[in-house]
Each structure stands twice: as C-alpha cells, then as structure tokens.
A and B are shown apart, each in its own frame.
Chain A
Amino acid sequence: MTQAQAEDTRVDWEAALVQRACTGDTRAFERLYREHAGRVYGLCLRMTRDTHLAEDCTQETFINAWRALPRFETRSSLSTWLHRIAVNVSLATRRKASPVAPSLDDEAGTGGACEWTLETPVEVREIEAAIGALPEGARDALVLHALYGYSHGEAAQMLGVAEGTCKAQLHRARRLLRERLNVEVG
C-alpha cells in the first residue's frame, strides 16, 4: 500500500468513527480520543506550561469536540479541527489564570520563511525548556507553526491574531531561541 493509500484508508476509517460517534457511540469517540490525545495534550501542555492545566484543557477539548461533532465536516481534517478547539480552550484557560494579557511587542522583521533548523544538534530536553521559556505569544506561534506544521495564516487564525502579528511573534521566537540555545536558528 502506498503512503497516499494508507492515508486515504486512515481518513476513511476516521470518517467512519466520526459518523458512529455522531450517533452517540462513545466507544467510537474513545477511539478518536486515543488517536489524537497525544497531539492535543502536547499542544495544551506547551501552551499552558502546567501539567494539571494541560490535562484539564485536554479533557475540555474532547468534551467540546463531542458536543460539536455533528457540525464537523468529515472532508476537513479532524486533527486540525481538534487543535483549533484545543488552542481556544488553552487560551481561555490562560486568560482565566492570568487575566492581564501580556503586551505584544512589535518586533522588527517579518519572521519570513524559516525552516527552524539548528546550526548544531541540541538535546530535545533543552529545546523544549527553551520553548517553554518563551513569552506566551511567541511560544504559541512557534508551537503551531514549527511543531504542528500550520502555515502562518492557519496559526494566526487559530490564535485570533493578524497574520503579520503571527509572523512577528515567530521572528521574536527565533531570536530568543538563538540567544537561549546559543546556536543559529535558520
């Protein structure tokens, strides 16, 4: 089976599970949860920086998804849809935890095309710590764009900011990572 065929098979299987879940089949929804829980939790954890909050956000994401499932269009990506919900939940959770929004510095530079390659290899633990230390806006944009592979436009839409702001945040993230890790980030 080619990779494209495998992907088609996976999507068909997922669409079948969504359809069953829409009829109230919680077992089918559990299968979807098992498939996507890791990526949703990873997103929540990197955005909230707290394991308990990340657990709460993950649960809230799937409960909201269950409610909204009948409105989900199966031709879209379930993964992206879940991540949108997870981002909204994580942002709301953070706002509740610290109501004063951090100021959005205007960075010079547009954060143009960047492959996020590191001049020298760095330990995963160190990179994750560096990402965790970024200011919220920069971190959110970096996680969605560099780790989850969303375009500037998609990441901006998820975060509720202008695409230009998202690019600026990415530029800021790149600069701060370079300073922290002491390697060139290209």
Chain B
Amino acid sequence: MSGSGSADERKVSSLRELSPAIEPPRDLWPQIEARINAQRRSAPAAQPRPARALPPRWLAAAALVASVAVGVWIGRSLLPAARSGSDVESARSASRASFAGAPTALDVAYVSDPRYQRDRAALMKSLQARLAALPPAARAKVMASLAALQRAKEDLESALGKDPGNALLQELLVNTYQDEMRVLTDVQASDAGRGI
C-alpha cells in the first residue's frame, strides 16, 4: 500500500493509532468532475436539484465540459498517428474560424461530440462580430488570449502524444478546453455597442 517512507517506519502501540486516511497517489477530482458533468448532460431530468441561479451562458459552458472531457479521453485512443489524414482535415476545416488575424486552428479534432462542435461553431460564428465591436486595445488582448489558448492546446496535445496516460496533461487539457469556452462565452456576452 502507498505511504511515505518515514510515516511507514513509525512504530505504534495500537491499531487505533493507524491513520485511516491514505491520500490517493494522484488527484482523482478531474475525472470525478468530468463524469458528474457527463451525467448532468445526459440525464438532466433525473437530477432532483433546483436549477442554479446562473446566467444561461455558464450553464451551457458547464454542460459542454462533459462532452469535452469525454472527447479528450476518446482522443487518447485516437492519437494523431492512428487517424487518417482526411479525418483530421475535415475536423480542422469544420472548426476553423474564417476571419483574418484570428487563430485559425481552434482545433477540435480530439473532440468529436456533435453537440460540442455545434455549440462551439455557433460561438465562433459570432466571435468575429463581437471582437470587432470591442475597443481596439481590448480586442488585441482577447485575440492574444485566444492565441495563448490555442498554443496551450497544441503543446498539451503534443505532449500527450508522447505520454498518453499522463493524468496531469489530461487535466490541463480539459482545463484549457473549458477556458476556451469561457472566453468565447464571455466575449459573446459582451455587448460593446448598446449598453448592457
């Protein structure tokens, strides 16, 4: 069983002195959270909980995390080498933003869930108009952040290619997909023109 070396060498005079708690060797919360969100997405009527008082965009973003997480772990078994070039290309073109200067590879190749792709595509469609309505300095900052997210996704996916079972990288990748959706929904919600 696991336990730090120094703790295991300590002597006790009673079984009651043994610590009941043993910390798991890795953080299990990301997978627990992903499964909870997957359940909430697939069976919302079964949850006997009152609705949260959150703006609808956050509920939508939270529901999407489940599909992202599922897609990532499906993606583990669909490493780049195993996929055909045409599959990758069609996934890329389906998600590509079509405006100059924007990150072009907000790539959802690993996320095959149709509902996620549909919701993300809708956000991407309005992204250009929303960005254009922002003050120039703000627009530049947001686009820099989107580019940072894209770089993060690429780096994480590349690293996962070398070490697919790495729980740390998986957790960071799910975080990054979540953060991208957060940015897209935040920009979607901003209305630079006519007041709030």
Contact = CB atoms under 8 A, between A and B. Distances in A.
A54 B21 CA distance: 13
Q: Which of B7, B10, B15, B51 has the most CB of A within 10 A?
A: B15
B14 interface: yes
Contacts of B135: none
B55 interface: no
Contacts of A121: 11-13
Interface in B35-89: 35-37, 39-40, 47-52, 62
Contacts of A120: 13
A122 interface: yes
Given A59-B31, A116-B14, A147-B15, A124 B3 contact: yes
Interface residues of A, number: 47
A55 B24 CA distance: 7
A184 to B, nearest CB: 12
B23 A116 contact: no
B25 to A, nearest CB: 6
A19 B21 CA distance: 25
B28 A25 contact: no
Nearest to A43: B20
Contacts of A146: 15-16, 18
Contacts of A115: 14, 16
Interface stretch (A8-16, A61-69, A105-113): A61-69
Interface in A46-87: 46, 49, 51, 54-55, 58-59, 62-63, 66-67, 70
B62 to A, nearest CB: 8
Interface string A106-145: 0000000001111011111101100010000000001000
Contacts of A41: 21-24, 28
Given A24-B49, A59-B32, A124 B7 contact: yes
Nearest to A66: B36
Contacts of A30: 29, 33
Q: Is the interface of A mostly helix, strand, loop or mixed?
A: helix
Contacts of A46: 1
B11 A42 contact: no
B68 to A, nearest CB: 15
A124 B22 contact: no
B13 A37 contact: no
Nearest to B14: A117
A49 B20 CA distance: 15
A147 B20 CA distance: 6
Nearest to B22: A42
Contact of B33 (A22, A26, A58, A124): A26
B16 A116 contact: yes
A137 to B, nearest CB: 17
Contacts of B11: 121-124
Nearest to A119: B13
Interface of A: 22-26, 29-30, 33-34, 37-39, 41-43, 45-46, 49, 51, 54-55, 58-59, 62-63, 66-67, 70, 115-118, 120-125, 127-128, 132, 142, 146-149, 185
27 contacts: A24-B49, A26-B36, A26-B37, A37-B29, A39-B20, A41-B28, A42-B20, A43-B20, A45-B22, A54-B24, A55-B28, A59-B31, A63-B35, A116-B15, A118-B13, A118-B14, A121-B13, A123-B8, A124-B3, A124-B7, A124-B9, A124-B11, A125-B9, A127-B12, A127-B18, A128-B1, A128-B3
